[in-house]
Amino acid sequence: MDIFLDILYIAAALSLAVAWWRRCFTASTTPASNSAPLPPGPTGWPVVGNLFQILLQRRPFMYIVGDFRRIYGPIFTLRMGQRTLVVVSSPDLIHEALVRKGPLFASRPPDSPIRLLFSSGKCSVNSAPYGPLWRSLRRNLVSEIVSPARVRSFAWIRSRAVKLHLDRLRASAAATAAVDLMPHCRLTICSILACICFGAEVPEDKVREMEEVLKDIMMMTTPKLPDFLPVLTPLFRRQLREARKLRRRQLDCLLPLVRARRVFVEEGGGGGPSPFKMVSPAGDAYVDSLFKLQPEGKSRRLSDEEIVTLVSEVLSAGTDTSATAIEWTMLHLVLDQRAQERVYGEVTAVAEQGKGITEEDVEKMGFLAAAVKETLRRHPPSHFVLSHAATRDTVLGGYKVPAAASVEFYTAWLTEDPEVWERPEEWRPERFMEGGDGWETDVTGTKGVRMMPFGVGRRICPAATLGMLHVQLLLANMVREFRWEAPPGEVPDPTETFAFTVVMKKSLKAAIFEREHSKDQLFTT
């Protein structure tokens, strides 16, 4: 029966797709005299456009885009099945779109049914279309998680997590010759964010489970055939069933925490029995603000499932990006021992011996900040920002950008441009110190864009300062406690690959040696 339905469906879908393609193709190649043409791009095949020309290359999309850029210039069109992608890659056009015409390019394109399942129908900061719902969710996230007062108030969470992190590294070094850094960083950052979100002491195995589920969701939501050919969606019933199972797993993992916290808050922070130990007073956790939020654009409060979506967004947006930045920075500190010693010298000069490193200490570590910025330039965690969409048909660089198109900003190219950066392929933190070619680079891109690891404009990462703090704090602590070296006989391999963020193909393994001063030292805050 399934097969019969599929055949019937394919026939209907093909006729619809051909009709749709004829209409779109004719409309876009014969623009009305007063409207601009679409940006240039490779000639596509009927119906599927450039989709299979790209899929058959079996290379990460970011490299294919680099090749097209060389042929078609800084703005070009790809027809991916029923979707039109406009790819933008020059600093001027990115600045024009995201900063000068900010509100116009601040929306998000339509999502596939699978992505809609995980975003509760676009009820999250990153997925909501530009409008009242997005504004109120984003405002709430900023005031509850990343305002300077909130960041200060979570210092104890970071300090506890850093101590556990260093203990875990010590245990790992005692057990193996080379420490695998990435899983430790992911676990620590995810634990910090989970505690900020739930106000609870989340057990380590629970954090690992969250990480696992979130990783599976990322894989499940990477673009697939039905994203480009929505007419084929019904043929992918199995995928949708798998996605529903995964959503169930996500809810089973996170709903107990949401519910336990709700009871805790409703009881005024009282000490009734709870499956989780609550460590923040009622009102201090991110979910507490979501319980009472009635976002603009919704006529009711958020459901528990929507709250799970919003918390998952914080955990996934903040974990991989920061852990990736730490891993790349540490790779360079292992390869460049002189730079590592300079960071060590700076940390020991600024932070008080035997005490935890504070946020104020980190602010005084100019070379460490330069090393992290240089890493974000040389290895931006993502080569694109999230997909954008225009709020209405508009024009960019003399070309038409339809409201229905996905606008992809290819940002990695900016930092590879030898016209903008001296010897861009080199990792040199000094370029971000006074007098260097990166000194005074504004990563928020207000006046112009030279690098944009956090995006720019309306959709810029709302938690860039928190992300930088996590990265710098962990690096400062790890370099203060240990000397990091390549394992004997091994040279770390800086080849990159794509796994949601752009990570090291072979994750960093390092031999770590306790620094003299930290032996037997009690760590107090």
Question: Which residues fall in the annotated binding site for heme?
Answer: 461
Minimal distance, residue 27 CB to ligand HEM, in Å: 28
From the list 79, 83, 115, 138, which residue makes contact with ligand HEM (rule: CB under 6 A)?
A: 138
From the list 126, 172, 337, 465, which residue makes contact with ligand HEM (rule: CB under 6 A)?
A: 126
- Residue 378 engages ligand HEM in binding (rule: CB under 6 A): no
From the list 233, 321, 406, 415, which residue makes contact with ligand HEM (rule: CB under 6 A)?
A: 321
Is 504 exposed, middle or buried (CB count within 10 Å of its CB: 0-12, 13-18, 19+)?
Answer: buried
**Contact assessment for residue 145 and residue 198, using Cβ atoms and an 8 Å cutoff:** no
Token pair for 198:
């739930």
Query: Could you give the CA distance from residue 366 to residue 429 in angstroms, rounded to a whole number?
Result: 10
- Residue 467 engages ligand HEM in binding (rule: CB under 6 A): yes
Token pair for 338:
């002189």
- Residue 382 engages ligand HEM in binding (rule: CB under 6 A): yes
From the list 258, 370, 390, 471, which residue makes contact with ligand HEM (rule: CB under 6 A)?
A: 471
CA-based end-to-end distance of the chain? 66
Phi, psi of 475 (to 5 degrees): -65, -45
- Residue 327 engages ligand HEM in binding (rule: CB under 6 A): no
Is 236 or 500 the residue whose CB approaches ligand HEM more closely? 500
Q: List the beta bridge partners of residue 75.
A: 88
DSSP β-ladder status, 406-409 and 399-401:
unpaired
**Contact assessment for residue 71 and residue 393, using Cβ atoms and an 8 Å cutoff:** no
Token pair for 390:
């225009």
Window contacting ligand HEM (CB under 6 A); options: 110-118, 276-284, 311-319, 482-490: 311-319
**x/- string (CB under 6 A) for ligand HEM, residues 8-27?**
--------------------
- Residue 144 engages ligand HEM in binding (rule: CB under 6 A): no
Total residues at interface with ligand HEM (CB under 6 A): 25
**Contact assessment for residue 63 and residue 30, using Cβ atoms and an 8 Å cutoff:** no
- Residue 188 engages ligand HEM in binding (rule: CB under 6 A): no
3-state class (DSSP) for residue 456: coil
- Residue 385 engages ligand HEM in binding (rule: CB under 6 A): yes
Q: List the beta bridge partners of residue 503.
A: 497
Residue entry with tokens 């606008």? 407
Residues 36-75 that bind ligand HEM (CB under 6 A): none
- Residue 445 engages ligand HEM in binding (rule: CB under 6 A): no
From the list 49, 356, 455, 492, which residue makes contact with ligand HEM (rule: CB under 6 A)?
A: 455
**Contact assessment for residue 76 and residue 69, using Cβ atoms and an 8 Å cutoff:** yes
**Contact assessment for residue 111 and residue 389, using Cβ atoms and an 8 Å cutoff:** no
- Residue 182 engages ligand HEM in binding (rule: CB under 6 A): no
Is 116 or 225 the residue whose CB approaches ligand HEM more closely? 116
Is 229 or 327 the residue whose CB approaches ligand HEM more closely? 327
Window contacting ligand HEM (CB under 6 A); options: 160-168, 256-264, 390-398, 463-471: 463-471
From the list 279, 386, 420, 499, which residue makes contact with ligand HEM (rule: CB under 6 A)?
A: 386
| CB neighbour list of residue 504: distance below 8 Å, 6 or more residues apart | 182, 327, 328, 331, 492, 493, 494, 495, 496, 497
Give the CA radius of gyration of the chain.
24
Residue entry with tokens 């441009």? 417
From the list 136, 191, 250, 322, which residue makes contact with ligand HEM (rule: CB under 6 A)?
A: 322
**Contact assessment for residue 149 and residue 123, using Cβ atoms and an 8 Å cutoff:** no
From the list 443, 463, 474, 511, which residue makes contact with ligand HEM (rule: CB under 6 A)?
A: 463
Window contacting ligand HEM (CB under 6 A); options: 266-274, 342-350, 455-463, 507-515: 455-463
Is 48 or 502 the residue whose CB approaches ligand HEM more closely? 502
Phi, psi of 77 (to 5 degrees): -110, 140
Q: How many other CB atoms are found less than 10 A from the CB of residue 257? A: 24
Token pair for 71:
């042929």
From the list 462, 472, 480, 502, which residue makes contact with ligand HEM (rule: CB under 6 A)?
A: 462
Is 269 exposed, middle or buried (CB count within 10 Å of its CB: 0-12, 13-18, 19+)?
Answer: middle
Binding site for ligand HEM (CB under 6 A): 125-126, 138, 145, 313-314, 317-318, 321-322, 325, 381-382, 385-386, 453-455, 459, 461-463, 466-467, 471
